[in-house]
Amino acid sequence: MNEPLPKPELLDRLLAAVEAAGWQTLIVERSHPFLLRLFKREEQGFLNVRIYVWNCTSGGRNRPADEYRVQLTGVVPKVATGETTLLLGWHEGYGVFVGFDIRKHKGQASASPSIQVKEASLLNAHNHAFSAYERANGEIAVCFCPEFIVEYALNLAKLHGFTAEDQAEVEILNSMDEVDEKEIMAKVRDRERREVIASIRRRYREHDFRRRVLAAYSATCAFCGLQLKLVEAAHIVPVAAESSTDETVNGVALCSLHHKAYDQNLLSFDDVFRIEISAAAVSELRRLNLVGGLASFQRSLKSAIILPADKRDYPAKPYIMERRRVCRWRP
């Protein structure tokens, strides 16, 4: 059994979750319930999120062994306008959150208010990213891996709006790593819920691709060797192309700078993995008087990409060639 985490550490888990989701945070209120402002780089708009969070602790005496509970101690949850309110439990062992429907718990102030959590659902979220189940009061509880926290917050009402009659839909939420787009279209009749599930499914694929590619390259830029958590997973054949896939062999880990240079066709690599800088692009930049820093930029590049430790993760040659075709690479 893990020791319950103090509130500042729960805040750390929340901040790490938002970062894993690819968003940034401003801490507006550091005392519990936390108020965080979530935003994404330079994009317009943000989300004010009020977060009530407690540890999932073991059920205690007279409780089934496969049950945890979240004790709503210290504060009575309420909903404020202009804020998205999350009511969460964190399970340190499984590394997942469980989210409850605030509408069912606001103002809950009995002597020892607590919410039971099924261990099976926490485990399912740990293994399959996402999981939902119906509690005895008809409430839908949603368990999720940290990188889904923003997706959860954005779709809060719709996710908790699932009902027992939507069992097939709840099943799909429980197998995000297996369902495909067609199955979602076939099984989920309600349009709004279909969109939510499809959006979570897309997010799942993005995170899964990123996780595999960064693991294959030890979070190291294949062009320059940089780590420093400045490395991203780039698709070789871009996502927008019909022929794109989320296989690890259609990915390469690149630092933010080299990812951008790769996207802009300033850099590429050939089917024997040699890194090339586009002479055509450089001469165009020269014409625009925009070649400042070019020499050190060139010096930072390896002659060939740093390959994954496992040969099975090497970029696939057909994808390398396909990229050069669809992106109209100019040597």
Binding site for Zn ion (CB under 5 A): 221, 223-224, 226, 255, 258
CA distance 114 to 96: 18
Q: Which is nearer to Zn ion, 183 or 270 (CB)?
A: 270
Q: Which is nearer to Zn ion, 145 or 221 (CB)?
A: 221
Q: Which is nearer to Zn ion, 234 or 255 (CB)?
A: 255
CA distance 213 to 315: 10
Q: How far is the CB of 307 from Zn ion (least distance, A)?
A: 15
Q: Answer whether 19's CB lies under 8 Å from 26's CB.
A: no
Extended beta strands in 11-66, E state: 24-29, 34-39, 47-58
Structure tokens at 129: 């990213």
Helix (H) or strand (E) holding 281: helix 279-287
Q: Answer whether 21's CB lies under 8 Å from 151's CB.
A: yes
CA distance 25 to 23: 7
Q: How far is the CB of 26 from Zn ion (least distance, A)?
A: 28
Q: Which is nearer to Zn ion, 53 or 226 (CB)?
A: 226
Q: How far is the CB of 217 from Zn ion (least distance, A)?
A: 11
Which DSSP state fits 31? S
Q: How far is the CB of 257 from Zn ion (least distance, A)?
A: 6
Q: How far is the CB of 215 from Zn ion (least distance, A)?
A: 18
Q: Which is nearer to Zn ion, 91 or 258 (CB)?
A: 258
* Phi, psi dihedrals of residue 264, rounded to the nearest 5°: -85, 5
CA distance 234 to 252: 5
Q: Which is nearer to Zn ion, 98 or 255 (CB)?
A: 255
* Phi, psi dihedrals of residue 69, rounded to the nearest 5°: -140, 155
Q: How far is the CB of 106 from Zn ion (least distance, A)?
A: 48
